[in-house]
Structure 1
């Protein structure tokens, strides 16, 4: 007598089915950036039209941030299967990851305006629907300063330090009018919930969400799951919380990234912490 297999818990290194392809982004100033696009798949394993699209902007590359920073890796591993989302990850100029190195050199968030534009253009070219920016730490600065593109539907900010983004940038986003969702760790080293609410009050459409017990790097499965649940809830209103088990095929990723690209954290908290533990 056959029985149905028990659902498998989704752990830190669980990789769920998706169509994953290496992509190249081409900037207006002549650089080629490397990235990956993960798409949902149907029962036949072929890519299907996503319900929405996440264009991710990684933490500070000079201190360990890159397209494989752990929240974004887990988003690409889980969200195509669990929520039907497309996830575009890429290395900004001069950034290295196992996928490769993007051309150019780090430009303190200035020349990176071309990188943001190239990512949005790739999503447009591929006809990926309902495009949202997701920025983490340094990536939030890129979203606020360079992400006001009419083709995006909104932005989600994880641990915004507001180091490079100014009140003028916040005022510009207010005038832009698109939704802004701001996830602020209770124990963030740089901007905590009360101060974030004060700073983002300039943006009437901003929703600031304080996350109890969380830190800047969102280390640990509870923190990652909260982030991914919030992303899905805002990009796909009415979607239920993400399941914590999976009853289909899955894989387990290697337990560590090469140390040469898993850099330490810095004073801005943008390091490449992997956050692999399941606690």
Structure 2
């Protein structure tokens, strides 16, 4: 058995994908599927702010794609929003400030639906959490998971809409976040009766450090694929 570390990449069926938006753009991405079994659920990842180096390879979501297909039978779909670059490539278009990205969110959900990816959840980090709250109420979406939600672009009207909607909303809020800390988050999310606000002691906005990544992934799996919770910290290297 080997310890699962920050750079560990577990087995998965990985394929490069292209998303097509309603306004005519092509977005580059990757789909990671469980290595042998069909997925039990799907994470559609919405990355942090591209003007602050956010992209599909932002580390928590990249590690989700490296681990969760093998450990939890979860499909992980990552992509670059319009105008965003990563080693996978650059998506067409220009940064839209969170507005024209509505088409990017819709294209990702449509891809999941067209390819029969089960039980899609939106997993938005920082800027990506704003996209999930503003544009993620597609009927196909099971719920939203918000990592370090700033609640800048997404406001009370968006929260009220999710409150009326009733689908699950999970907010993982770092104790030392730069923008929204747990006490304020609990107040803001009172508008969403079904929302769970989980404070993570010691964590910061960027979730640097393997202990914090493990907490985030475990909280996600607890909701999305509870059969796999808690996630193991070791992997049998012969199981490839």
Q: TM-score range by the shorter chain?
A: over 0.9
Choose between structure 1 and 2 for higher RCO, CA contacts under 8 A separated by at least 6 residues.
Answer: 1
- Report the counterpart of residue 156 of structure 1 in structure 2: 145
Q: Does 1:196 align with 2:185?
A: yes
Which of 109, 119, 125 is 1:130 aligned to? 119
Deviations for 1:177-215, whole angstroms, at most 9, x for unmatched residues? 110000000000110000000000000010000000000
Which residue is equivalent to 2:79?
A: 90
Deviates more, 1:118-127 or 1:233-242: 233-242
Q: Which has the larger radius of gyration?
A: 1
SS in structure 1 at match of 2:142: strand
Instruction: Report the Cα distance in structure 2 between the residues aligned to 1:56 and 1:250, rounded to whole angstroms.
Output: 27
Q: Distance in 1 between matches of 2:185 and 2:86?
A: 31
C-alpha distance in 1, partners of 2:90/2:228? 36
Alignment partner of 2:105 out of 116, 119, 132: 116
1:28 and 1:66, CA in 2 relative to 1: closer, same or farther beyond 3 A? same
Alignment partner, residue 229 of structure 1: 218
The answer to whether the Cα contact below 8 Å between 1:17 and 1:249 also exists between their aligned partners in 2 is no
Give the TM-score taking structure 2 as reference length: 0.98
Q: Which residue of 1 aligns with 2:7?
A: 13
- Residue 25 of structure 1 is aligned with which of 15, 19, 23? 19
- Mapped partners of 1:65, 1:208: distance in 2: 23
Structure-1 separation of matches of 2:95 and 2:238: 39
1:74 counterpart (50, 60, 63): 63
Correspondence list, 1:138-217, <5 A: 138-217=127-206
CA distance in 2, matches of 1:238, 1:66: 30
Q: Which runs of 4+ in 1 moved over 6 A?
A: none
TM-score (norm. length: structure 1): 0.85
Higher helix fraction (1 or 2): 2
Contact 1:9 1:245 in 2 (8 A): yes
Distance 2:200 2:122 in 1: 20
Residue 175 of structure 1: how far off its partner (Å): 1.3
Structure 1: segments with no counterpart, 5+ residues: 1-6, 43-47, 252-279
Q: In structure 1, how many angstroms separate the alpha carbons of the residues matched to 2:199 and 2:95?
A: 31
Q: Give the SS at the match of 1:214.
A: coil
Measured in 1, the distance between the counterparts of 2:150 and 2:239 equals: 35
Provide the rounded CA distance (Å) in 2 between the counterparts of 1:220 and 1:108: 29
- 1:95-153 CA-to-partner distances (Å, cap 9, x unmatched) read 00000000000000000000000000000011000110000000000000000011011
Quote how far apart the aligned CAs of 1:49 are.
Answer: 1.2
Deviation at 1:250, TM superposition (A): 8.1
Is residue 63 of structure 2 the alignment partner of residue 63 of structure 1? no
The 2-side partners of 1:68 and 1:236 are apart by 23
- The whole-number CA distance in structure 1 between the counterparts of 2:141 and 2:76 is 14
